[in-house]
Every structure is written in C-alpha cells, then in structure tokens.
Structure 1
Amino acid sequence: MTTAIDLFAGLGGWSTGARAAGVEVLWAANHWPVAVEWHAANHPDTQHICQDLHQARWEQVPAHDILLASPCCQGHSKARGQANGNPQHDSSRSTAWAVVSALEFHRPGAALVENVPEFSDWALYPAWVAAVTALGYQVAPHILDCADLGVPQHRVRLFLVLTRSKAPLMLELHRRQHVPAASFLDFSAGKWSPIDRPGRALATLNRVRNGRDRFGDQFIMPYYGKGSGLTGRDMNRPIGTITTLDRWALVRGDEMRMLSASEALAAQSFPADTLRPKSHKLTMHMAGNAVPPLAGQRVIEALMAAA
C-alpha cells in the first residue's frame, strides 16, 4: 500500500483525502495540541506528534512514499498581511523549510505541498525551490480552484507537486461539475436572530436588501468582505472561501444566522461523521485552515495515476 506522512496536519484534510484515495497515513504532526487531539480522534491508526517541526527528529519518522504538507499560510495570505518584519508572519513563513528538512532525510518519491497562491511571491520562494531542486526534486506548481475538483466551495489554492522525475510533473486533473452551496445548507436548522435589531451595521442591512432583490427570501451572503459582499450569493453555485472566522451568513425572511460549524465542514468536503470540538470557534478555525479532503483526494489520485 502507498504510504504518506502529514506535516502541519490540522484537522486532517490531507489525511482524510489520502485515506479516501487508498493511501495509509503513517505519521502526522502539528504544533497545536487541540489539532493533534482531533486529528488523532479521526485517524486513530496514525502515529501522532505535537511538535514545532523546526525541531523535528526526522529519523524518528517512518519511511513513506508521499509527503503531504500545508505549511502555515497566514504570513503569505493577502487577508492576513504579508509585511516583512512582523515576527509572527516571518515565523509562519519559515515553516515551509520543515518540508525541505523532511525531504532531505527521507527522500520520498513525491511530495504535495498546499498553500495560498501568494506563497510563490514570498521573497525566499526561489531559494526554497532551489533547495528542493538540489535534493533531486522537480517542482510543478498547480493553481487550482477546489470547486473544479468537486468541492462545494470556491477556494483557489497552490498545490506544488514535487517528484523525483526528469521533468516537472503536471497532473491531469479533470474539471468536475460544480456542486452548489444548497447541497449542504440547512435553512431549517440553527439559531436565528432578527435582521432588524439594534446595533446591526448599516452595511449588513444593505447586503440583506441587495440580496433580497436578487435572490428572494432565502440566500447566503458574506457578513463582511468585498465581492459578493454587496450583493449576496446564489445558492446554486459553490459557496465562497471558508475562512477561520465566521464570514458567511444565511438569510431567511426577516431572520439571519451565521454558517454553522457543521455546514462549514461540509463546505470543505469533510465527511459528515468527522469528529470535532464542541466549540464553534475552534471548529471554524480548524475548518478554515484545512485542505478540503476531496481536493486532496483528487490531487493524490492524479499523482498516483501519473506515477
């Protein structure tokens, strides 16, 4: 059986996708105890470690065929700011070097690295690619909208395919039919509140009014942000990007509520039986940082088909 390890494993998007693709995830790591706890709950047969991967003991990690990794993206994302000199963001960007260290020790046949597209704008990205290349890997960047892989969410991400091949390996990824947000939204559930209440921001009321004009009494909208934030969003198309914070609101007549944690996980294509914290805030944080499992599965399957 094909085997893998999962760096920066989080809630387990890569691991869940790998399992669906028939890959055994031997080992998973994250620096956050809560993430390790819930990854272990969903992947009890995987060996887990809670550790800053800058200090990883790679000789203690089992040999594997595929390295899966999602280094911290906050220092690259436009949404969170990218300025050099911000210690938190500079530290988050440096997590990508753990991938190089792991590759250097184990030399697996392939690696898949997911991040925001701005990762390639990082000042040290050319040096990072040079280091990976020096280890004998070709680097093939793929910028993918996860909606094109069947995830009910527009989520544009960079997937770097690293292979020990003579030329960069561009995967054959067939475009799937888009899955609408209506497939997972439940307007009969949840805790609703009146739209017209004291303290409701004028911008929110304007979004609701514009959404009603376009879509009627039931629709979704960003609670903040640009783009469809001014107009609402058609439920017959995938939802927009799920973030670590509450962003999406459902409107039903004169009431509204925020997207539930279960709906956010469904938008990310996590299975309905995924174990998660009771805390809405914690679940949303982990969901927003995750690789959509279905996207991970499709990419892994394409990699194995090309091997």
Structure 2
Amino acid sequence: MKTYKFIDLFAGIGGFHFAFHKLGAECVFASEIDVHARKTYEYNLKSLSPKLFESNRFNDDILKITNENIDKEIPDFDILCAGFPCQPFSQAGFKRGFKEEKDARGNMFFKIRDIIQAKRPRTIFLENVRHLLNHDDGKTFSTIKAILEQELGYELYYKIVKASDFGLPQHRPRLFIVGFRKEDEYEQPFSFPDKQPLKNTMSDILGGTCNKEVGYTLRVGGRGSGLGDRRNWDSYLVDGTPVRLSSKEGLAMQGFPEGFKFPVAETQAMKQLGNSVAVDAIKAFGCAIMTRLNQAASVESDSQKSIHLVC
C-alpha cells in the first residue's frame, strides 16, 4: 500500500515524526543540529523508522546540503514538516527575526524555501511562535507569505493554534502554516481540524495532587496573573508549595507517547521539551492535510486511492 512520505526539518525530539507516524506516513529524511536533541530523537525513533537511520538520512546540519545537491541528499517526499527556529521571532528571543545577522537561526526559513523550490512537495506544514505574525510590524510574515504564495506557488492557510484545543492541558499557542501546490486540483478547500476535548488536566498529570478548580489556569496561560489565588498554577502550586515539573510530566503535557525516554540529563530534557511541538495538535492537522491530499489523489489516478489514513 502506498504511504505518504514526509521530511522532518529542525526535528527536535520528534514531535512531527511521532504525529505523522501515527497517521501511517513514512519519514524519509530528518535534520537536527543539536547533539543532545539528536540523541533523544534517535533513541526514541530508531525502532519506529529504521530505514531513516540505516540509510543515513538523519542529517546533522541542514546547511551542509547545498542547492546543488538537494536532489541527491533528500529523497522525494509529499509533505515538508518544519518547526523552524523560533527564537528570533519570540519574546524570549527579543524578536530579532531576519535582520539579526549574527543569528543564522532567523534565516533558516530561506533554507526551507530552497528545499521547497528544488523538491516541489505537494504540501508544506510549518510551525512557529504566534509572534511571527506581527514581527517587525508584520513585515517578516509578509515576506514569508509572499515567498510561499508568489515565488513558490503554494495556496496558504494559517492559524494560531492552542495545544489545549487538541486535548492537551496547556495553552502553548503557536502559528501553524499549511500550504498546497496551486497546480494540484482539489475537490474542496482545506478545512482546519475540529477542536478536541481535554483528555487530561494538570491534576491528572501530577497524580491528582492539584486543586480541581482550573478556571484561572486556562486564562493566565502560565504567566503571573496578579490574582493572588492558589488555583493560578503559573508556578504549579500544590497545597501552597511550588512544584517543578519533571520531564515525564512535560512529555504528557506535550502529547508524547508513553515509553518515550530521555537519554540525556534532566536539564537538557526540559530544554528539549521547551523547544518541542504539541504532538496531538500536529497529528490533528496532519490528518486534515492527508485527507485533502487523498482528495487530490482521487482526481489524479486510481492507483493512489489506496492510501489509508489512521486518524
């Protein structure tokens, strides 16, 4: 049976990979430069995607792939996934963006552009911080949008998405950008996935030790609220005592599967979780993307109708 193939750029610890693997897709190329994140990625995904590692398709620096050898180094694929570096556009990164010459991370989008231009994937799926929309008075996002739509010829859909809208007990608002090649024909426009009910609260994740009243928690979004109420978990209070989240609890908040292990120190594990994506939100969007690809496949040829989705 044919399966959709995807690549996982700026892969982190594999949030995109786990989500799309659950949907039955195959990862044919991945890239991550951080040595500690690479260790975690391979430790947890080598058994799920052995071909990726056996074929040496787990790249350690996407900048090593020049425009001249993209076709040689990256196999053909259907979906490009990239949670490209967000620090230059985030509040924590002082909103530096494309203009920060000393920080190459802000220019990684242009590497994505080069890969899209060379490989022409059917779909692109990008994730970044919500502040990207307004960075530099909107000029940064306007540049990205113009490149994807006008230069590369993709039909774009974008939305601010909260992890809590897809069953996870945290806000974590992120900008999701989905693009489809304009030359492909589809029966219907792309539809954003429906919201999903909360599966677990922070009380569940912390073993039932938290106060059950969660109203304030959903509003403050992890920041100090000034309400002076212990039900505000900006510091995760249990009976008035601050509690530091463990990496195990962080994994549950992000939707990673049971059995996921960190072969690194706890400080590194928490850093990696802070840079990761919300798996359940990615999976919901991945299902919506692949559902639409199936619509195009039914128009193109009967041979591709056999693609089965596991949403």
Structure 1 counterpart of 2:31, which letter? A
Give deviations 1:233-274, integer Å, cap 9, x for gaps. Answer: 468xxxxxxxxxxxx644333644301111011100111211
Verify: 1:177 aligned to 2:189, yes or no: no
Is contact 1:161-1:169 (8 Å) kept?
A: no
- In the TM superposition, residue 153 of structure 1 has moved relative to its aligned partner by 1.7
Tell me which residue corresponds to 1:226.
Answer: 224
* Matched residue SS, 1:113: strand
**Any stretches of 5+ residues in structure 1 without a counterpart?**
189-210, 236-247
Tell me which residue corresponds to 2:174.
Answer: 157
- In the TM superposition, residue 276 of structure 1 has moved relative to its aligned partner by 1.2
Structure 2 counterpart of 1:110, which letter? T
Say what the alpha-carbon RMSD is for the aligned residues. Answer: 3.1
Tell me which residue corresponds to 2:110.
Answer: 97
**Cα distance between partner residues in 1 of 2:290 and 2:231:** 36
> 57, 64, 81: which one pairs with 2:77?
64
* Matched residue SS, 1:173: coil
Tell me which residue corresponds to 2:281.
Answer: 295
**Cα distance between partner residues in 2 of 1:269 and 1:154:** 13
Q: Structure 1 length normalisation: TM-score?
A: 0.77
- Decide which moves more: 52-61 or 171-180: 52-61
Structure 1 pair 284–106 and aligned structure 2 pair: CA distance change class (3 A): same
**Cα distance between partner residues in 2 of 1:300 and 1:228:** 38
Paired-residue identity, %: 24
**Cα distance between partner residues in 1 of 2:227 and 2:81:** 34
Bigger strand fraction: 1
- In the TM superposition, residue 78 of structure 1 has moved relative to its aligned partner by 1.8
Is contact 1:249-1:259 (8 Å) kept?
A: no
Bigger helix fraction: 2
Aligned length: 268
- In the TM superposition, residue 49 of structure 1 has moved relative to its aligned partner by 1.0
Structure 1 counterpart of 2:197, which letter? Q
Tell me which residue corresponds to 2:148.
Answer: 132
**Cα distance between partner residues in 1 of 2:178 and 2:61:** 25
**Cα distance between partner residues in 1 of 2:80 and 2:168:** 23
Structure 1 pair 215–159 and aligned structure 2 pair: CA distance change class (3 A): closer
Structure 2 counterpart of 1:116, which letter? V
Is contact 1:151-1:269 (8 Å) kept?
A: yes
**Cα distance between partner residues in 2 of 1:13 and 1:55:** 23
Structure 2 counterpart of 1:259, which letter? L
Structure 2 counterpart of 1:174, which letter? D
1:254-265 equivalent positions in 2, closer than 5 A: 255-265=241-251
**Any stretches of 5+ residues in structure 2 without a counterpart?**
294-311
**Cα distance between partner residues in 1 of 2:263 and 2:204:** 23
Is contact 2:9-2:30 (8 Å) kept?
A: yes
* Matched residue SS, 2:250: helix
**Cα distance between partner residues in 1 of 2:167 and 2:237:** 25
Q: Structure 2 length normalisation: TM-score?
A: 0.76
